[in-house]
Structure 1
Amino acid sequence: MPKRTMIEAIREAMDVMMERDDKVVVFGQDVGFFGGVFRCTEGLQRKYGAARCFDTPISESGIVGVAVGMGAYGLRPVVEIQFADYVYPAYDQIVSEAARLRFRSAGDYTAPMVIRMPCGGGIFGAQTHSQSPEAVFTHVAGLQTIIPSNPYDAKGLLISAIENDDPVIFLEPKRLYNGPFNGHYDQPVVPWSKHALSETPEGYYSIPIGKAAIRRQGSAVTVLAYGTMVYVAEAAVSETGIDAEVIDLRSLVPLDIDTITASVAKTGRCVIVHEATRLSGFGTQLAAEVQERCFYHLEAPILRVTGWDTPYPHAHEWDYFPGPERVGRALLQVMEA
């Protein structure tokens, strides 16, 4: 199988679905002629025409509002918010319209739509291009939230999201877009990111939403991570030599609680890693779920390794990220408890 970057895999997922189903439409800021700021939609307008892949005004609320109407009408819109940081003007449309349409209409209407957004830091984009807002969506009943960590998953999960009959938030870690990443443009590739370039089948395939992946089997401690932090966790495990089990959540809502609890019941310890801020981050929910279900199996407190509780620090971006050293310290701490 050919190896693809996440950008290529995401583009191919949209291409496959647009070819299979003429109800699939793609739109957003600069996604048509320009092919998107990260080139995820490059070539789709040339192939399918401006009626099915088109540019919009700079109006996130308008983009999402139009998508809700299209979905209710029977189309399957896939919209791009250029950066996850830009989604807040559309939050009311997402929460009050998209997420509730099935419920408020007693099932007469649905919103089969996907909202794609690059998320996280790593490109020195400062506070307005680097946020990880996944928790603000996981709190909303009626939304599904996905964060892939590799091209294979990104393609299969995006296809499943497009086929889904309810709205899906599809967050794409921009540090993983182009395969193995580095600390800065003039620094060497970080070895633990090598799997960000992966073999990806051509054509159609799907991955079920709500099923986690065990990236590394282990018996001493369970590490829960998603997106870029999966690679950070793997690096920390390798550097500490601890026999940890690394679980890539892939889907935050719905959450594969069975895989999580089975692992923690086996290991008796749990470390949670995410890039977003600590306060009210999704790790808080994970810790509560694990504590409620695995309390009598736990041999140490559940630890979280996260970003800082500050506005995104442009000048200290790589200190803000949980790195292998910080995760490694947490692993050693739970093993010593």
Structure 2
Amino acid sequence: MKKKLQTVAMILIFFTLMGCSKQDVKVTIPSGKSDFVEKSDYGNYSTNEKKLKAFIENKMLTKKGIYTNYRKQSYEKDVARGHELLSESSGMWLQYLAYNHKYSDFRKFYRATKKTFDQKTQFSYRYTPSTNKKFDVNATLDDLRIIKALQIYADETGNKTFKKEAATRFAMLAKNTMSNGKIASFYDVGTKKASVEGSLAYYDFLTLKYFETTTKQKKMYQKQLAVVKDGYLGDAFPLYSSSYNWQSKSYSDADLNTSEAMETLLHLAEIGKIKKVSLNWLEQQVKNNTLYNSYSVNGNVVSRSHSAGSYAIAAMIFATQGDKKMYRQTMKLVWKYQVKDKKSDIYGGIGIKHQNEAYSFNNLTTLLAARY
């Protein structure tokens, strides 16, 4: 009787995870574990990390997700801010919980993530608690972050239910956003249309490579890699275009958001495809503390402000290359953004003290970078 009840419980857990109206897709579950967990162990920031984690848990974390900004801000249609919630933040927090073996917290927060963001075939990128509004579009990289977290949990625990959940979520995401090398930036569940452009920062090759296992998928992976490689801006400014438009078959000449540009480099670094000239450029910016927030495609500085998040991703890039010295030098710059005044409302957080602003992306990216 006990065994029968356990079986029923497992079935109920499975259907709670999967949902009852998932899109009909063919699911291929990869064999073996992934290579998602970094093992460089270069970080030794227990005091900083403890304070940062406490800030996030006590000031940013809610039962539905994580605030986009500690500071309350008025609603704006085109950009998430204030106490709105992003699936991006939830994915990064899930990764942190899985990395640190907080398994009970992981399961609980994943249930909350699904309740807040799930659209059956994907996760909404944004939720507004004040109006209970779930936006119709996802952001493909945010879905991949959550899928990656599910796989890390499965790898660390041997849980087959979560392993299947990760593979199923990937298959559903791929059906709507991936085809013939294309990765759409988003899919709209209302209009049932994907974007015609794809952000190069969204090509998370380590995750794609693990889940794209069939012969057909492997060919698509090679096309995906080619799309990003062909977006290279040149040795004079060794970064990549922000996006590719599949309708006009052209790369964007829009200014680069540096945190997204760093994501592109990180994804290439994780599979050993980052160019030496790109690493040299990045090393120079870190040494001079000149990794600015925005550049033109010609390499001209558009915004001279800085972001802890951009530096944190740069630190991850150096860690993947086995460059302990540059990793630690970069993390020194990251920790300068941590608020050390115990009287501040954002004590321990990564933010701007006098404005009481602390954005989830900067805080969570720093938290993840600290464990490399």
Richer in strand (by share): 1
- TM-score with structure 1 setting the length: 0.29
Give the helix-richer structure, 1 or 2.
2
